[in-house]
Structure 1
Amino acid sequence: MEEYVFNVLAGAKLTLQVAGGSLVVAVVLGLLGATAKLSTNKPLNWLAALYSTIIRGIPELVWMLLLFYGGQMLLNKVLESVGYNDYVEINPLFAGIVTIGFIYGAYMTETFRGAIMAIPKGQSEAGYAFGMSRSRVFFRIVVPQMIRLALPSFTNNWLVLIKATALVSVIGLTDMTMLAKQASAATRSLTPLAPMLFYLLVAAIYLAITTVSLIVLKQLDKRYSMGVRKGEF
């Protein structure tokens, strides 16, 4: 029984890898999406709006299955059409990170777009008046304020993203959810409470991760809110 408990705990490392990698992908896509939505370029506006609307309107599980299995089939069809006949399998860890990051990039797009729009335009104009370049204005004036304004929504997205990592078990990744399922099946004969015990352990680990995340993000919020009066989130 103890061996299975340690296996589930070890699976938490993979869960954190998926969550961290997905967050990086989501933030990059979110920044690109927000920039596109705020751009004066109409095609970019249209593509960004299409991305955020379609992604947020379809369940994460459907996207996970569609992009993993459908993407794998499409990739092999394309390779076959150019004369490559060996079957290519997409790495489940890579697929899980990219899929979850792709999904939550749509949510981050709206988070960053709203935060940037909340910053008075006069501040950027003042930077230009002082002779600052567009990139300098963005990183010295816009980004620090955007972080403060985006943090409440970013925190919510991050917490939901962490919980969504449980979906990677459906594509064969042995995260702690998959390991808990295997452990409960292997120990069911020892005690009928095995499934509940292992899944409670998984729930406790997720709760611990989200609790630590909230503490860290609240400290980050305090740092970027120095001198600004605002409510807690």
Structure 2
Amino acid sequence: MLEKFALLGFGPGGWGWALLQGASITISIALATLPFGLALGLAIALAKRSEKAWLRRLATIYTTVFRGVPELLTLYIVYFGVQILLQQLWVKLGLAGSFSMPPFVAGMIALGMVLSAFSSEVWMGALNSIQPGQREAAAALGLSKAQAFRLVVFPQLMRVALPGLGNNWMVLLKETSLVSVITLPDIMFITTRANVVTKEPFLFFGAAMAIYLFFSLISAWSIGRLEARANRGYAAFGGATR
């Protein structure tokens, strides 16, 4: 039994360093995807509220597609399909060499597009909770639309959206396991490789489960702290916005 656990160590024959590397790539791609996906999701939510009908339709089509298509298929389309299109464009432009999309970038784009589709619904719900009168009051104070959004709307938006965005983050953290299929050496890639070499599936997949669970527990604690901080002023007035 001790010999099996030695496979998780950092000595000769151990997979400890490889597992740490895989864990760092998993958390790195999740953290890189988060701001991209949330910012794009907010832009899509704002597009859905646009006065331009074509922009609203385009945003609706986007969310329908990326909420309905499996994440793995989106990843394949970005990594293989988009790469082929860009390579053809590369050749047509007469550029030297060839174009190759790094797996990390492909994973970040694909997961970010899926995240943006789901987070846009969270942003929409939060935007709908902001009373129109607050924007009117900001305009009366001489604030531009951009200033009103940044100084008045967005702080309230974050407070309302945080629980839903926290759930989006937890889902994203687990979906990073899909990038192993495009040879990015994340936790799942490393543990699958270790299982093939050692024939110890319970040991290594159990280690992967423990790592994901650790990340999830830290995330849940951090999100809880952020929510408590965001709600401090709101709770102080008995839950009423002043």
Aligned residues: percent identity? 35
User: How far is 1:77 from its partner?
Assistant: 1.8
Normalised to the residue count of structure 1, the TM-score between the two structures is 0.92
Q: What is the aligned-residue RMSD (CA, Å)?
A: 1.4
Which residue of structure 1 lines up, in the alignment, with residue 225 of structure 2? Answer: 219
Indicate the structure whose relative CO is greater, using CA pairs within 8 Å and at least 6 residues apart. 1
Counterpart Cα distance in 1 of 2:77 and 2:142: 49
**Contact 1:19–1:165 (8 Å) recurs in 2:** yes
User: How far is 1:85 from its partner?
Assistant: 6.6
Which residue of structure 1 lines up, in the alignment, with residue 71 of structure 2? Answer: 60
Residues 159-179 of structure 1 show CA distances to partners (whole Å, capped at 9, x for unaligned) of 000000000000010111100
SS of the residue corresponding to residue 104 of structure 1 reads helix
Deviates more, 1:122-131 or 1:146-155: 122-131
Aligned residues: 225
SS of the residue corresponding to residue 174 of structure 1 reads coil
Which residue of structure 1 lines up, in the alignment, with residue 59 of structure 2? Answer: 48
Residues 73-95 of structure 1 show CA distances to partners (whole Å, capped at 9, x for unaligned) of 11112222333474322111111
Matched, 1:197 2:226: no
Counterpart Cα distance in 1 of 2:92 and 2:143: 51
Give the gaps of 5 or more residues in structure 2: 1-6
Counterpart of 1:15, as a letter, is T
Give the gaps of 5 or more residues in structure 1: 189-193
Counterpart of 2:145, as a letter, is R
**Contact 2:78–2:109 (8 Å) recurs in 1:** no
**Contact 2:103–2:183 (8 Å) recurs in 1:** yes
SS of the residue corresponding to residue 160 of structure 2 reads helix
Counterpart Cα distance in 2 of 1:169 and 1:136: 42
Segments ≥4 residues shifted beyond 6 Å: none
Which residue of structure 2 lines up, in the alignment, with residue 140 of structure 1? Answer: 151
1:112 to 112, 115, 123: 123
Q: Output aligned runs, 1:66-81, within 5 Å.
A: 66-81=77-92
Residues 190-215 of structure 1 show CA distances to partners (whole Å, capped at 9, x for unaligned) of xxxx1111111111111111111111
Counterpart Cα distance in 2 of 1:42 and 1:204: 48
**Contact 2:22–2:186 (8 Å) recurs in 1:** yes
Which residue of structure 2 lines up, in the alignment, with residue 191 of structure 1? Answer: none
Which residue of structure 1 lines up, in the alignment, with residue 190 of structure 2? Answer: 179
Counterpart Cα distance in 1 of 2:148 and 2:108: 32
**Contact 1:5–1:198 (8 Å) recurs in 2:** no
Normalised to the residue count of structure 2, the TM-score between the two structures is 0.89
SS of the residue corresponding to residue 39 of structure 2 reads helix
Which residue of structure 1 lines up, in the alignment, with residue 3 of structure 2? Answer: none
Counterpart Cα distance in 2 of 1:52 and 1:44: 12
